[in-house]
Amino acid sequence: VKGGYETFMDKEIHEQPVAVADTLRGRVDERGEIQLDEMRIDPAVLRSVDKIIVIACGTAAYAGHVAKYAIEHWCRVPVEVELAHEFRYRDPVVSEKTLTVAISQSGETMDTIQAVRHAREQGSKVLAIVNTYGSTLAREADAVLYTHAGPEVAVASTKAFLAQITACYLLGLYLAQLRGNKWPDEVADYLAHLAQMPAKIQDLLDGQEERVRALGAELADKTSFLFLGRHVGYPVALEGALKLKELAYVHAEGFAAGELKHGPIALVEEGLPVFVIVPTPRRPLLHDKVVSNIQEVRARGARTIVIAEEGDLTVEPFADDVIRVPRTPTLMWPLLTVVPLQVFAAALARAKGLDIDQPRNLAKSVTVE
């Protein structure tokens, strides 16, 4: 059942190249245009949308957070990302011109279902990005964009996250194409980068998995971890911290790197492991700020574990460990940088002898509010 892997989580981490490829498959035609046959929302409505609200919980919400950066950039439509359980209790501003996008692996998360019902009552069209065929969310939404990640058995989400980002990116590029926000060659360019991601994820696993697993075992006695990221690296930091909490039961917090000096830096002390997700040096404004953050925490004694692009040597003097990731445009970065964080969390949990597939107190789908 586990395909030769020790745990379902290991199997599902290794299925990520296929999950991304399958989510892309059949959705781009021979002219390079995105065709979402399942998009049963009138194109005129999609053209008139003036706001997108993404509703989700947990890892799915972090996928939505990543998507916000891409969709706003491509479509020039404001995107709000809302935790489903907060949404309907705060009188949200929703109208016929709002497109609600619900993201869920299971399609059965009650918080998300209730939020979607509320959005529909206010006249919003709802698009569900779900992994489970025929699930409640898939049935209740106006349209469904399936992530074709295959069944995810481990309680901690891995391949669903990558497939959700991929589906959100297809949606963003589709809307850009429909609304004429981007030149066709720019959409084609991003689609080409997306198409390269399965091979890059595989290269990353082949090249770094063993080292990251060893690092997880080495740091198994640590009781607290920080994760820092900026731009799309920020939701990746949040997801890295969530994986570690869920699997290894240790305190882990993700921060927007720029927030460090507004408070969290007070937590840094000798030996505290800090993961830092560094943007590509081809975005120097972003990159250099994050590199200074590494220096700041290192100067206060942190053990820095840096996730950086292949060939980015600027991080070397400040990094205790560097995890190298293939070169890719910034918006594609989450599809790679989260992978070592998943591997790390599983390795640390394994070293502690914990049940990786069934962490304590958690259920695969949360079907009560």
**The amino acid at 301:** G
Nearer to ligand M6R, 131 or 293 (CB): 131
In 180-195, which positions are buried (b, 16+ CB within 10 angstroms) versus exposed (e)? ebbeeeebbebbebbe
Catalytic residue check, 364: yes
Tokens of 243: 């994986």
Q: Does 156 bind ligand M6R (CB under 6 A)?
A: yes
Q: Does 109 bind ligand M6R (CB under 6 A)?
A: yes
Nearer to ligand M6R, 22 or 111 (CB): 111
Catalytic pick from 2, 289, 352, 364? 364
Contact 106, 364 (CB under 8 A): yes
- How far from 65 is each of 70, 73, 78, 292, 344, CA to CA, in Å? 9, 13, 12, 24, 22
Distance CA 320, CA 331 (A): 26
Looking up tokens 């053209």 gives: 47
Nearer to ligand M6R, 105 or 337 (CB): 105
**The amino acid at 360:** R
Minimal distance, residue 120 CB to ligand M6R, in Å: 17
**The amino acid at 364:** K
Work out the number of other CB atoms within 10 angstroms of the CB of residue 165: 32
Minimal distance, residue 157 CB to ligand M6R, in Å: 4
Options 7, 112, 337, 342; binder of ligand M6R; rule CB under 6 A:
112
Which span sits near ligand M6R by CB under 6 A: 31-39, 52-60, 316-324, 342-350? 52-60
Which span sits near ligand M6R by CB under 6 A: 42-50, 57-65, 92-100, 210-218? 57-65
Minimal distance, residue 46 CB to ligand M6R, in Å: 24
Nearer to ligand M6R, 77 or 366 (CB): 366
Q: Does 366 bind ligand M6R (CB under 6 A)?
A: yes
Distance CA 240, CA 236 (A): 6
**Residue 308: CB partners within 8 Å, gap ≥ 6?**
278, 315, 319, 322, 323, 324, 325
Q: Does 155 bind ligand M6R (CB under 6 A)?
A: yes
Q: Does 136 bind ligand M6R (CB under 6 A)?
A: no
Q: Does 104 bind ligand M6R (CB under 6 A)?
A: yes
Q: Does 312 bind ligand M6R (CB under 6 A)?
A: no
Residues 240-259 that bind ligand M6R (CB under 6 A): 246
Minimal distance, residue 123 CB to ligand M6R, in Å: 24
Q: Does 7 bind ligand M6R (CB under 6 A)?
A: no
Bridge partners of residue 277, in order along the sequence? 307
Distance CA 367, CA 108 (A): 6
- Interaction mask 58-97, ligand M6R, x per CB under 6 A: xxx-------------------------------------
Which has the closest alpha carbon to 307: 254, 363, 268? 254
Q: How many helices (H) and strands (E) does the chain have?
A: 12, 10
Q: Does 343 bind ligand M6R (CB under 6 A)?
A: no
What's the chain's Rg over C-alpha atoms? 20
Nearer to ligand M6R, 62 or 74 (CB): 62
Minimal distance, residue 207 CB to ligand M6R, in Å: 25
Minimal distance, residue 286 CB to ligand M6R, in Å: 27
Tokens of 33: 């245009």
What residue ranges bind ligand M6R (CB under 6 A)? 57-60, 104-106, 109, 112, 155-157, 246, 362, 365-366
Residues annotated catalytic, as ranges: 364
